Chains A and B, each alone.
Chain A
Amino acid sequence: MRGALVFAILIMTACGCATVDVPRVGDSKYTVYDDERRLQKRADEICEKIDQSRFLYNDNQLEKYLITTVQRMLVSQGYNETVKISIKVLRDPSANALSFCNGRVYVFTGLLAAMDNEAQVATVIAHEISHILKRDTLREFRSNINKTTFYSSLTAGLGVPSGELIAVSSIAGYSRELESEADRDGFNMMKSAGYDMKESAKAFEKMNEFANLERPETQGRFSSHPKTTLRIENFKRLTQENKSSAISKPEINEQIFKNITYKAALEDIATCLNARMYKTADKVIKELTEDNPKNAEVYFYLGELCRKRQDPEANEKNRDKAKDYTRAIEAYNRALMLNPLYADALKGKGLVLQKQGNLAEAQSVLSRYLEINPKAEDRSYIENLLNTN
């Protein structure tokens, strides 16, 4: 009796997980179903809210670059212009991306900061596009898997009910079967576009590395994409299996990627500092400093990290900021050497000098800050400091 019950449960579970076969987007039999149209309409509404939120990062050049990467992969797979994919960037420190059934892909600043090259980011985007082309939202919707309760906290800032976001996007991840399919299809897409296959596993290794830098409570709002370690194995296996068909000069496009994503990476550092993700900020700053040793902004953010870093676990007596303040001054000085008119670096330096008790120099530096930036929004605070000194 018990055996029969277990068997029945197994059958029911298998039915629940079974996915629905529908023609891919762009196939000759492709048609939009009524239930899919409703899902897409809701996805449009949610995307509109996301686009109006403070999380949207506007950078036309970056968007154009990313959509060119997408088109390159779609063309290599024989898709024509009837397949509509749009791409936007969100301010979020998670090394991740998100797709919707209406063809929208959101790439997070955290992903752009974590990736080393175009081939790596193409792998992640290809995975997301694969979900769209295979109509995984519809397939998952029809297989009636309800994940709503697990993800209710993710959506409040967008004013979107979590169940609806899950129903029309890849945010909660799909079943293992659909994720593996998307890995395989995404891999094929980046490979046929001429990217280096080896970068696919590296992309997910970096995502995993960044995801493990912070404690769970300080990770980004979209840091929920599951099964990263499983994917790394998938991509290593796929690379091995496709070794014989590898092209002679695959591309990774490292320099162009770093140039175009530089500002987004700086934005990501600012987002990390606001979110108290100091280890992630530190890592991104180190990588940016290696690549851009002559850019004042990177040293400014290093100064900001050292000035703002807080350790809530340490009590007041153990929270010795002296070392951090010395490093902060060094970083601000470096930024000011590269750009003597860098107002924010002057302010940061002045505030640290004030903390160190070096009031005369603080006064001189902060006065210079107000001189360079006469319309400074924080003028009243700075003038008060100058008067107090």
Chain B
Amino acid sequence: MIENTMKKILLIFILFLNGCATTSFWTALPNGQFQDKRSNFEAAVPQGWVKLETSPYFVITKDGIGLNTIVVIRQTVDIKAEGSQKIFEKNMSPQELAEVEISYLEADNDLLKLKFLRNELAHVDGHDTAFLEYKYVTTDGLEVKGQCYSFLHDRQVYRIKYEAPEQYYFKKYYTDFERFIKTFRINS
């Protein structure tokens, strides 16, 4: 009797596991774009880039996490992010979004010699967007360059980041990121 009950529990458990494993948030669309259902957006993922399934955010990389990444973070306004000193608010202007984004980067203790190269207005999917270009040195001495676009959509902040070592890698896949930004669409 006990053995049968155990078998049933095991079977239910296995079925449950399968159910979870097959739930994919990342799907290909007929127009060649890919859609992230969880974060409610679609974009053209450059050829050869792969998605990191273990991250809570949308993360893709071409050569590996340390060499090039595109990250999309969607977060609700008014909620303090871990480790940051400021919060995004609903009616912030792009300039204020940039201020918060700068404080996020400055609060990251692993970014040494952080320097902001550009801080200007941009547009992503028709939204007024804060655009930052920056560079920093990792604790291992690697010089990394990054770009970050931040914009508000309803009560969500979308933060799209591209980072790669300044030497060789940043330029090499920059056009991939440009295409990703140009094709980025929020699904209403």
Contact = CB atoms under 8 A, between A and B. Distances in A.
Query: What range describes how many residues of B lie at the interface?
Result: 20 to 34
Interface residues of A, number: 29
A351 B87 contact: no
The 6 tightest CB contacts between A and B, nearest first, are: A156-B109, A157-B109, A380-B121, A276-B85, A381-B95, A380-B120
Nearest to A156: B109
Interface in B85-131: 85-87, 89-91, 93-95, 98-99, 103, 106, 109-110, 112-114, 119-121, 128, 130
Contacts, number: 60
B85 A275 contact: yes
Contacts of B106: 54, 274
A310 B89 contact: yes
Q: Which among A158, A381, A383, A385 has the highest number of chain B CB atoms within 10 Å?
A: A381
Interface in A320-376: 351, 354-355
Contacts of A53: 112-113
Interface string A73-96: 000000000000000000000000
Contact of A385 (B86, B89, B93): B93
Given A54-B114, A381-B98, 16 more contacts: A52-B113, A54-B113, A156-B139, A157-B109, A159-B139, A274-B106, A275-B85, A310-B89, A312-B78, A315-B78, A316-B89, A355-B91, A377-B119, A381-B93, A381-B120, A384-B121
Contacts of B95: 351, 378, 381-382
Interface string A269-286: 000001110000000000
A384 B97 CA distance: 14
A218 interface: yes
A150 to B, nearest CB: 17
A52 B114 CA distance: 11
Contact of A159 (B80, B85, B112): B112
Interface in A300-320: 308, 310, 312, 315-316, 319
